[in-house]
Amino acid sequence: MKTWSEVAEVQPLASKIITNSIKKDRISHAYLLQGGRGTGKEAIALLLAKDLFCEYKAAAEPCNACNACKRITSGNHPDVHWIEPEGQSIKIEQIKNLQKEFTYSGLESNKKVYVIKAADTLTSNAANRILKFLEEPSKQTTAIMLTENSQWIIPTIRSRCQVIDLQPLNPISFENRLVEEGMTKANAVLMRALTNNLDDAFAMNDDEWFASARKLMVQLVGVFSNNPEDVFLFIHNHWVTHFKERKEQEQGLDLLLLAFKDILYYHIGNEDSMVFFAANDEVLEKAAMSFSQEKLVTVLNEILQAKRNLKQNVHPTLVIEQLTLQIQR
């Protein structure tokens, strides 16, 4: 999304609120954009930053062609600062460095913008440091905070921001868009269950690692059904070696969750809701005979708990081992 017109197609209310502020020259000193992955938070932050620096904007639309717009797009504008988590959180040292930057005059104007991605990951000290920043706003400074879960942001920060709620994208419309742009129907169904982001969907669709992950998940379900005594060996020989990074481990659990959801849907005759397996898949049919409906509900809850444990920095190998034990019981 490179224009407010494009934003308006998927986030009409957010687009209207922000563009009206731009046209009336009433841009807030701080925004909190909250919405799920793929709802356009970063695109909106980019557009808002461009509006503040664009040399040739028309009404609320930045030109996207001037020197300022191009550098903001590439992340190289000296007066637009992006902060994102180092590891699992945004730390106080990052905020101190940001504040230090803001003690200097703007290199090309008196305006400065800072964007904090995943603002819900601010440590307590970093959040308090940002709060002081927000309590003493400069007319030339604009803060844009992005989050998927605003409930994890301290209320005193929320109260000092204009909160913009971004609506979830319609999954069927998203699926149709993927098919229109060349993705197979089966893959589009799976992708819309995993992401709302068009670029992410095509990246996964073309990724050999992801294709291997899907095959591995089918194999794992087969081992649970046919050779449960070999599951731990399979986990250590295949899962641990394939899902190495935290993001990959989370994606593995997402795929496993979808696979077991499909088994439950097959059990209750709701094949139209399945996204991972084809309705005539032999592995699916065997798994449906191996797991009762009650057991499948328990398994789904255990996978969700495993995802929470991973978020809480429990060692990933321990997480999958505990999950395996729970599924085997």
* DSSP letter (8 states) at residue 326: H
- pLDDT value at residue 72: 96
For residue 249, give the nearest of 206, 276, 213 by alpha carbon.
213
pTM: 0.65
- pLDDT value at residue 253: 96
CATH architecture of 207-328: Up-down Bundle (1.20)
Q: Report residue 85 as tokens.
A: 């988590």
Spell out the per-residue pLDDT of the chain, length 329, in tens. 789 998 998 899 999 999 999 999 999 999 999 998 778 899 999 999 999 999 999 989 999 999 999 999 999 999 999 999 988 899 999 999 998 888 776 666 788 999 999 999 999 999 999 998 888 767 688 999 999 888 889 999 999 999 999 988 788 888 998 999 899 999 999 999 998 778 889 999 999 999 999 999 999 999 999 999 999 999 999 999 999 998 899 999 999 999 999 999 999 999 999 999 998 899 999 999 999 999 999 999 999 999 989 888 899 999 999 999 999 88
Coil, strand or helix at 90:
strand
- pLDDT value at residue 179: 94
| For helices 208-226 and 246-267, angle between their N-to-C axes, nearest 10 degrees | 50
CATH architecture of 4-165: 3-Layer(aba) Sandwich (3.40)
Tell me the β-bridge partners of 30.
143
Give how far the C-alpha of residue 127 lies from the chain's centroid of Cα atoms, to the nearest Å.
Answer: 21
Q: Under a CB-based contact definition with an 8 Å cutoff, are residues 40 and 1 in contact?
A: yes
- pLDDT value at residue 198: 80
Q: Where are the domains of the chain?
A: 4-165, 207-328
